[in-house]
Chain A
Amino acid sequence: MSELVLQSLYAGLLAGGYYALIALGLTLIFGTMKVINLAHGEMVLLAAYIAYTAESVYGINPVLAIPLAVAAVVLTSVMVYGLVSRIRQDRELNSLILTFGIGIVLTNFVLMVWSADIRSTNVPWFNEPVVIGEAFYSTSAQVLFFLAGLGLTAALWWWLGRSWYGRALRAVASNRNAAMLMGVNPRTTEVISFVIAGLLAGIAGVALYTVAVIHPDLGHNLTIKAFVITVLAGLGSIPGVLVGAMLIGVAEYMTITLASSALQELTGMVMFLLVLFIRPSGLFGSRGRVG
Chain B
Amino acid sequence: MRAFPIAIVAACYLVVPVVLGSNDYILSLVIAALTLAAIALSWALLGNLGGMVSFGHAAFFGVGAYTSALLAKDLGVPVFLAMLAGGAGAALASVVTMPALRLRGPYFALAILAYAQIFRILANQMTGVTGGAGGILSIPPLPTVFGFDFSSKLGAYLVILTLLVLGILAYKAIRDSYWGLALKAMHDSEDATRVIGVPSTRLKAAMLVVSAFMAGVAGAFNAHVIGFLEPDYAFAGTWSVIPVVAAIFGGYRTLSGPILGALVIYLLDQLLFKTLMPQGHQIMFGVLLGAMILFSPSGLLPLLTKPFARFKPAKRTPTPEKRHAAAA
Contact = CB atoms under 8 A, between A and B. Distances in A.
Partners in one complex: yes
A227 B110 contact: yes
Interface residues of B, number: 41
A275 to B, nearest CB: 10
A150 interface: no
A135 B298 CA distance: 58
Contact of B297 (A87, A108, A228, A291): A87
B259 to A, nearest CB: 17
Residue in B105, B124, B237, B287 whose Cβ sees the most chain A Cβ within 10 Å: B105
A112 B279 contact: yes
B118 A97 contact: no
A109 B106 CA distance: 28
B289 A101 contact: yes
Given A97-B249, A100-B289, A107 B282 contact: yes
Secondary structure type dominating chain A contacts: helix
B288 A101 contact: yes
Interface in A237-291: 262-263, 265-266, 269-270, 272-273, 276-277, 280-282, 290-291
Contact of A98 (B107, B118, B244, B289): B289
Contacts of B53: 93
B290 A83 contact: yes
A228 B110 contact: yes
A101 B290 CA distance: 6
Interface in A83-112: 83, 86-90, 92-98, 100-105, 107-109, 111-112
A224 interface: yes
A102 B298 CA distance: 19
Contact of B293 (A94, A109, A280, A291): A94
Interface stretch (B96-104, B148-156, B161-169): B96-104
Contacts of A15: none
B125 interface: yes
Contact of B282 (A90, A108, A272, A276): A108
A203 interface: no
Nearest to A107: B282
A282 B107 contact: yes
Given A90-B297, A231-B106, A272 B114 contact: yes
A104 B248 contact: no
Q: Size range of the interface on A?
A: 35 or more
Interface string B267-307: 00000000000011011011111101110011000000000
A97 B245 contact: yes
Contacts of A215: none
Contacts of A277: 99-100, 102
B106 A101 contact: no
Considering the complex of A and B, which 5 residue pairs feature the smallest CB-CB distances, nearest first?
A101-B289, A104-B286, A105-B286, A101-B286, A101-B290
Interface of B: 53, 99-100, 102-107, 110-111, 113-115, 117-118, 121-122, 124-125, 237, 241, 244-245, 248-249, 279-280, 282-283, 285-290, 292-294, 297-298
Given A87-B293, A101-B286, A109-B283, 19 more contacts: A89-B298, A95-B293, A97-B290, A104-B286, A104-B289, A105-B282, A105-B290, A108-B282, A111-B280, A231-B106, A266-B122, A266-B125, A270-B118, A273-B99, A273-B100, A273-B111, A280-B102, A290-B105, A291-B106
9 contacts: A30-B106, A83-B294, A103-B286, A231-B110, A263-B125, A266-B117, A273-B118, A276-B107, A280-B107
